[in-house]
Structure 1
């Protein structure tokens, strides 16, 4: 995908096994709030923190591309001008998929003054100290964090995250637009309670078809059905 000198780029990484409407809601929300010029969906190659049994990377990429079609349609309907790209940077990179490697590579790809913002849910922020070289990430990107039910950030965060927020948190989303990296914005206006792990488990139930149609984007669901995934 060729982007016309974007100034504000969002990065939504994940296993996307499968991509679900929670991913699309989070992407849509921050595309609007942060006035993103572009949004990159980045499926992980080897998700080192996940259990065994993950769907092969090329299939997850295919599912992510399909979900991107639904996301593009939503953007068109909502008159959101953000360009969407599906980036295989982690799939093409050998070894475990670390966010720090992706952040460094994307910072090298785009101009130094481009605002790069990593989009995540509150659970990811709370688990951040388990990430490889997590304390270096804000040297390359911003964080935009969406609230999630059952994850009260202020009550559950450890001392390391408290310190991180004291140093980097901003209260205005506009700050991220003006900052290439180094800022954290906590957004409490969106609450997405859906995880790929829970969804995979639910898809093994007798009510599979109802659950799938309710939570999975239509183009991705078509591939899942055709390949017989998650049974």
Structure 2
């Protein structure tokens, strides 16, 4: 790919990838004018249960979802290039965001704007992440609120202090900053979680739920492999 200046990072277990992930990616690719977007499935997600789907299968599902995302970008005339990166799957040990942020900063250099895309629930849980207070030394945060995860009223003193120091109120500031900025976006509501989706897929209405919430190419693999039953 050409040398990108603005790169979005969407990490996650992607077990399975769902339309909420794609909506989040599409929204930020558009409003932040991202040159590239990296989808990064975690290798060993240390905060998740041990019964997650094997990493290589989750990688396949993410690659399949990326095909649907690319189609959406084409339809919406969003020029952002999409990549699926196996950086966390190939790295031994637990998958920590801080290790990924450092590695990507080293890969792309000091001047590229790197922005970690997340839902508000991730921001609220940030103090539980490994070396969370160092992340903004390497990346920006773009945060989409989710229903039942409003920032005000639930925010800890640590996150309140973080926002006071790093929050910016416009996308332009974020785009021009290689790292160290937090942008809160209130215009997107995505209320889907992979955990809830996995539970729903065990119900009798599995096929309806799956086709409604899971990108078609990923769903094809799920169906062929008999996952989440």
TM-score normalised per structure 1: 0.99
Match of 1:7 in 2: 5
Specify the alignment match of 2:82 in structure 1.
84
**Displacement after TM superposition at 1:107 (Å):** 0.1
C-alpha separation between the residues in 1 aligned to 2:212 and 2:96?
31
1:149-168 matched pairs, under 5 angstroms:
149-168=147-166
How far apart, CA to CA, are the structure 1 residues paired with 2:53 and 2:172?
37
Q: How far is the alpha carbon of 1:176 from its aligned partner?
A: 1.0
Residues in 1 aligned to 2:50 and 2:100: alpha-carbon distance in whole angstroms? 22
Distance 2:199 2:173 in 1: 39
Distance, in Å, in 2 between the alignment partners of 1:138 and 1:18 is: 28
Let me know the Cα RMSD of the aligned residues. Answer: 0.3
User: Residues 38-57 of structure 1: matches in 2 within 5 Å?
Assistant: 38-57=36-55
Q: CA separation in 2, counterparts of 1:73 and 1:167?
A: 38
* Separation (CA, whole Å) in 2 of partners of 1:202 and 1:76: 31
CA distance in 1, matches of 2:219, 2:150: 31
Distance in 2, Cα, partners of 1:7 & 1:60 = 28
Deviations 1:123-164 (Å, cap 9, x if unpaired)?
Answer: 000000000000000000000000100011011010000000
Alignment-derived partner of residue 144 in structure 1: 142
Q: How does 1:1-231 map to 2 (within 5 A)?
A: 3-231=1-229
Deviation at 1:212, TM superposition (A): 0.0
Alpha-carbon distance, 1:111 to partner: 2.1
- Counterpart CA distance in 2 for 1:107 and 1:196 is 28
| Count of residue correspondences | 229
**What is the DSSP-based 3-state SS (H/G/I as helix, E as strand, rest coil) of the residue aligned with 1:190?**
coil
Structure 1 distance, partners of 2:50, 2:105, is: 31
Say which SS state the counterpart of residue 155 (structure 1) adopts.
Answer: coil
Residue 90 of structure 1 aligns to a residue whose secondary structure is helix
SS in 2 for 1:12: strand
TM-score (norm 2): 1.00
Q: Which runs of 4+ in 1 moved over 2 A?
A: none
Q: Secondary structure at the match of 1:189?
A: coil
- What is the alpha-carbon distance in structure 2 between the residues aligned to residue 82 and residue 194 of structure 1? 24
What is the distance in 2 between the residues matched to 1:22 and 1:158? Answer: 25
- Distance of 1:154 and 1:39 partners within structure 2: 29
CA distance in 1, matches of 2:138, 2:29: 20
